[in-house]
Amino acid sequence: MDRVYGSGSAATNALDDVDLTVPPGRFVSLIGPSGCGKSTLLRIVAGLERPDRGEVRVHGVPPAQACAAKMIGLVPQSPALLPWLSVLRNVTLPQKINKGSAGRRERIAGSGQRQAAPSAPDMRDLLVKAGLGEAMDKLPAQISGGMRQRAAIVRAFGLRPDVLVMDEPFSALDEFTRESLQDQLLDLWDELKTTVLFVTHSVSEAVRLSDTVVVMAPGPGRIVDVIDVDLPRPRGDRLFGERRFHEYEDLVRDRLRRAWHGEAA
Ligand SMILES: Nc1ncnc2c1ncn2[C@@H]1O[C@H](COP(=O)(O)OP(=O)(O)OP(=O)(O)O)[C@@H](O)[C@H]1O
Ligand SMILES: [Mg+2]
């Protein structure tokens, strides 16, 4: 798949010959220097833009169709919650809007490309699991940035998307909030069996969370390495003391360094 912005001498090859298969239920991270096309790839998967060459399939259907059937949940870098609605009403809003599209999703399921849609989870329960039990009835302006970020994740999970697409969701958070959100994300992922495509600049975050780390390089934007992380789960705090975890970190960091130098060359 290719994606080119602009034309002629001003053209940017945001994605060049990118070919990636993500098996259902896997947690895949994209990591790479700024401008290597991570967000572009996510936007294409989420159906927000189209490749100039090649195609993308989400459980067998084009992203726009998967999106219309609410099979894809997007967590953008800065969460857009409606300021006049409580946290609870914000996270349940997509489900209310979605009621009419459930049939469509079943039809896609009926074509044999995916399993039957699971029932909507109890959003209150998800909010409590995400540490937002006390914040449920507050307005977005009354809670912290980290809480808003968690609310956006719960909202995306609430539709039980087959594919959850997250663009640097934890980048603006302190280390401990970030670790706690990673834990909550892994718990939700484990429970809902969603496929996750996750963009991060943090090597340790990528290694801790992922089944697979995809390393990308810019100029043109491309995939340079696909590293399977063969570490047991659950990956709690003890992981940070384990030698193999640090070996994976070193491996990803080494590939990233090469990607970065490739850019400078
Ligand atoms: N709408 C656009 N118009 C023109 N060029 C764009 C557009 N969106 C992205 N680009 C270019 O495409 C390339 C890839 O951008 P993209 O946002 O996907 O990078 P990224 O890997 O997400 O970077 P970062 O880590 O900084 O978020 C960059 O060179 C960027 O300038
Ligand atoms: Mg980006």
Ligand nearest to the CA of 7: 1
pLDDT for the residue 264: 45
Q: Which CATH class is domain 3-8+16-84+161-264?
A: alpha beta
Evaluate: CB of 34 within 6 angstroms of ligand 1.
yes
- The answer to whether the CB of 78 is under 6 A from ligand 1 is no
CA pseudo-torsion sign 42, 154, 72, 26: positive
Question: Under a CB-based contact definition with an 8 Å cutoff, are residues 149 and 178 in contact?
Answer: no
What does the pLDDT read at residue 77?
74
The finding on whether 149 has its CB within 6 A of some atom of ligand 1 is no
Which residue has a Cα nearest atom 16 of ligand 1?
37
The 10s digit of each residue's pLDDT in 44-64 is 999 999 999 999 999 899 999
Kindly identify the ligand whose nearest atom is closest to the C-alpha of 167: 2
**Helices and strands (DSSP H and E) totals, the chain:** 9, 8
- pLDDT reported for residue 105: 55
33 lines ligand 1 (CB under 6 A): no
Tell me which residue has its CA closest to atom 1 in ligand 1.
Answer: 5
Tell me, what's the pLDDT at 117?
41
The distance from CA 231 to its chain's CA centroid, rounded to whole angstroms, is 20
Q: Locate tokens 């491996």: which residue?
A: 251
Q: Is 5 in the pocket of ligand 1 (CB under 6 A)?
A: yes
Residue nearest to atom 4 of ligand 1 (CA): 5
Residue 234, preceding peptide bond in cis (omega within 30° of 0): yes
What number does the ligand 1 atom closest to the CA of 168 have?
27
- Please identify every stretch of the chain with a pLDDT value under 70, giving residue numbers as ranges: 98-121, 263-265
Residue ranges of alpha helices (H) inside 159-201 are: 175-192
CB under 5 Å of ion ligand 2: residues: 39
Index of the ligand 1 atom closest to the CA of residue 32: 21
**Confidence (pLDDT) at 106:** 53
| pLDDT value, residue 100 | 54
Question: According to the model, what pLDDT value does residue 113 have?
Answer: 44
